[in-house]
Amino acid sequence: MTAKIAFQGEPGAYSHEACVDARPDMEPLPCRAFEDVIAAVRDGRADLAMLPVENTTYGRVADIHRLLPQSGLRIIDEAFVRVHISLMANPGVSLDEIKRVRAHLVLLPQCESFLAARGIEGIPAADSAGAAAELAEAGLRDEGALASDLAAEIHGLDLLARHIEDHAHNTTRFLIMSPEPQMERRGDHGMMTTFVFQVRNIPAALYKAMGGFATNGVNMTKLESYMVGGKFTATQFYADIEGHPEDPPVQRALEELDYFTDMLDILGTYPRDPRRD
């Protein structure tokens, strides 16, 4: 039986593209919501989960930081997908025939220059890959969709213009998650460790908790806070650091962090992707 990797969205979504790129030997399994992706792995319908965690243009992906600690899964890899946006239409349709395009709300502003220059109206859709699927089913000739090249291939649409986004830096970072951690590996480009924690209710607790990373020379690439339990006083932190918990500097920094926290949960240790550079 072919191993499966679950993702959120319709076939052809950028999460689907991430699955094909990072795990080409696995069968992608589309899911309606992030919670469904996690559930698919926990109940055995999928072996791995592909979850977006942040985007260079829009920042943190909503709800992911809240879901990860509760998921019961562990991060085993990270993956980066450059978000290329293409205009697609039904077979035989020319670009001059397109009067409007549908796409997810976040994609439309990224193609504003292209659409404005051609007088094409952008209409928000719930999902870009879903808009491509609906376009193919409806057979419309005056409408197009903005989505990935993979969406056009899956739904039998013609690419009228490829990679029309205004900016060339839009990239999404994904986390590949498994029921079990893979702590024994060592990456050629170093390691990353991701964890969440809550500081103790004492003065300067966060400052003191972070001190161990500075004094031990451990590079922290991300630190974000968010509320938990609907309380302004219950703040949880999400962090990415470079290194492995068994590295002596990381080990010392985590020991110091543990002293100032009420909760510390390592979500995963995994190879550092060279595309970070």
Active site residues: 172, 174
Question: CB of 36 within 8 A of CB of 59?
Answer: no
Question: CB of 120 within 8 A of CB of 101?
Answer: yes
**Cβ neighbours of residue 96 under 8 Å, at least 6 residues apart?**
none
Residue 10's alpha-carbon distances to 37, 61, 126, 150, in angstroms, are 12, 17, 11, 11
Angle at 216 between CA 210 and CA 222, to 5 degrees: 45
Question: In whole angstroms, what is the distance from residue 214 CA to residue 253 CA?
Answer: 8
The closest of 26, 42, 54, 59 to 174, measured between CA atoms, is 54
Question: In whole angstroms, what is the distance from residue 14 CA to residue 28 CA?
Answer: 12
Question: In whole angstroms, what is the distance from residue 51 CA to residue 226 CA?
Answer: 19
Q: Which two tokens stand for residue 32?
A: 């309606």
